[in-house]
């Protein structure tokens, strides 16, 4: 009987030890599991990355660059240090840096401040002598001049968190975007106001592109929706430090993967000198594309001597507005 009790006691002691070890292991692994869940709930990841990706993949935002980069002509031999007579001006813009700073306004809203830096080249197709009104269609210019410059384009993006966390489109969405503004940073030429007019619609009046937000949800201030071939009149007010008429152009019609862009020169309709700057007003119109999609209309303003002298450095200011054709 004593031997039996001893054996029973041995088993009891072994059972106690196994139970104690198992309990400790459970507590240890259980604590570790709880701690990892707190540190990384549902593996949400970095919201900044999701918001930046939304901006990079957005159809409206992606329609800017095909109209900002106007590359399309072949270079010719150049002549230097001359007054020139331009017949066509365009730019090649290569994106070299994109940055977006995210600020979380609340737990469910955020604002993105996006800047894009472009290494650009201004191309000027020109004659050495004034061709006047006798220029025949198809006549090749004497030269195409190239001027390198850097331009930075900024815009603001508003985000909102979706009510359903497991939404297949992601946990955030873009609710509005501002108009883009870019340039070389020169104080000598600045667009100060843009007015877009359409039949049967209220005018769109912009005085600060980055503060003018176009909504995806609200009924007011929506991204303009045009029907094919609908006409839009663009009125531009700017201030220039130079007495000669500026070179102001409108580019539109290209979309991502479809580069059927068009370009027009705006006509000056008024001018006034305020003692420091020449206050000028320009106007032109464009027609919406014949095919549906997302687009941008972009205004580029450069001083007269940038376009009419082969050596003057580039000074430029650019505004744009997205639109949709349906």
pLDDT band with cut points at 50, 70 and 90 for residue 261: confident
Q: Specify the CATH superfamily of domain 44-325.
A: Coagulation Factor XIII, subunit A, domain 1 (2.70.50.30)
Q: What is the pLDDT of residue 89?
A: 84
Section 152-169 average pLDDT: 84
The three-class DSSP label of residue 185 is: coil
- DSSP annotation string for 250-282: EEE--BTTB---EEEEPEEEEEEE-SSSEEEEE
Output the six-digit token pair for 117: 């830096």
Tokens encoding 220: 């007011």
Question: For residue 201, is pLDDT > 60?
Answer: yes
CA distance 271 to 155: 30
CA distance 240 to 188: 6
Give pLDDT, residue 85.
66
Of the pLDDT bands very low, low, confident and very high (cuts 50, 70, 90), residue 210 is: very high
Q: What percentage of the chain exceeds 70 in pLDDT?
A: 75
Structure tokens at 228: 């094919």
269-315 pLDDT, tens per residue?
999 999 999 999 999 999 998 999 999 999 999 999 998 888 899 99
* Two tokens, residue 86: 């331009």
Local confidence band at 185 (pLDDT 50, 70, 90 cut-offs)? very high
131-159: average pLDDT: 82
Domain boundaries, the chain: 44-325
Is the pLDDT at 180 greater than 50, yes or no?
yes
Rounded CA separation 261/287 (Å) = 11
**Cα–Cα distance for residue pair 297/289, rounded to 1 Å:** 11
How many angstroms separate the most distant Cα atoms in the chain? 129
* 284, HSE (Cβ side, Cα atoms, 13 Å): 21
Q: Report the phi/psi class of residue 74: left, alpha or beta, with left for phi > 0 and alpha for psi in -120 to 50.
A: beta
Encode pLDDT of 220-240 as tens digits: 678 999 999 999 999 999 999
Of 301, 297, 302, the residue nearest 285 (C-alpha):
297
The strand ranges marked E within 83-197 are 85-104, 109-127, 143-161, 172-178, 181-183, 189-197
Q: Looking at residues 120-127, what average pLDDT do you find?
A: 87
What was the pLDDT predicted at 151? 97
- Return the higher-pLDDT residue of 47 and 128: 47
């Amino acid at each position: 009987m004593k031997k039996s009790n001893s054996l029973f006691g041995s088993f009891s002691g072994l059972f106690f030890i196994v139970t104690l070890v198992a309990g400790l292991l459970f507590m240890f692994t259980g604590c570790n599991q709880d701690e990892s869940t707190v540190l990384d709930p549902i593996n949400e990841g970095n919201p900044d990355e999701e918001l930046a990706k939304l901006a990079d993949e957005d159809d409206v935002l992606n329609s800017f660059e095909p109209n900002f980069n106007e590359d399309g002509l072949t270079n010719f031999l150049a002549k230097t240090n001359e007054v020139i007579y331009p017949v066509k001006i365009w730019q090649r813009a290569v994106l070299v840096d994109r940055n977006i700073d995210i600020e979380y306004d609340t737990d469910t809203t955020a604002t993105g401040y996006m800047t894009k830096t472009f290494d650009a080249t201004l191309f000027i197709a020109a004659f050495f002598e004034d061709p006047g009104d006798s220029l025949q269609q198809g006549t090749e210019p004497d030269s195409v001049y190239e001027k390198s410059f850097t331009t930075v384009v900024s815009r603001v993006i508003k985000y909102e968190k979706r009510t359903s966390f497991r939404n297949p489109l992601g946990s955030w969405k873009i609710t509005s975007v501002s108009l883009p503004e870019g340039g070389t940073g020169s104080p000598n030429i600045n667009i100060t106001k843009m007015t877009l007019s359409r039949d049967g619609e209220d005018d769109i009046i912009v005085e600060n592109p980055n503060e003018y937000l176009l909504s995806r949800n609200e009924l007011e201030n929506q991204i303009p929706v045009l029907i094919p071939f609908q006409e839009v009149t663009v009125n531009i007010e700017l201030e220039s430090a130079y007495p000669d008429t500026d070179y102001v152009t409108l580019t539109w019609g290209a979309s991502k993967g479809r580069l059927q862009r068009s370009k027009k020169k705006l006509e000056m309709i008024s001018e006034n000198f305020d003692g420091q700057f020449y206050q000028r007003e320009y106007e032109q119109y464009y027609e919406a594309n014949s095919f549906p999609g997302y687009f941008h209309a972009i205004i580029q303003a450069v001083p007269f001597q940038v376009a009419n002298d082969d050596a003057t450095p580039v000074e430029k200011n650019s505004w744009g507005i997205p639109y949709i054709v349906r």
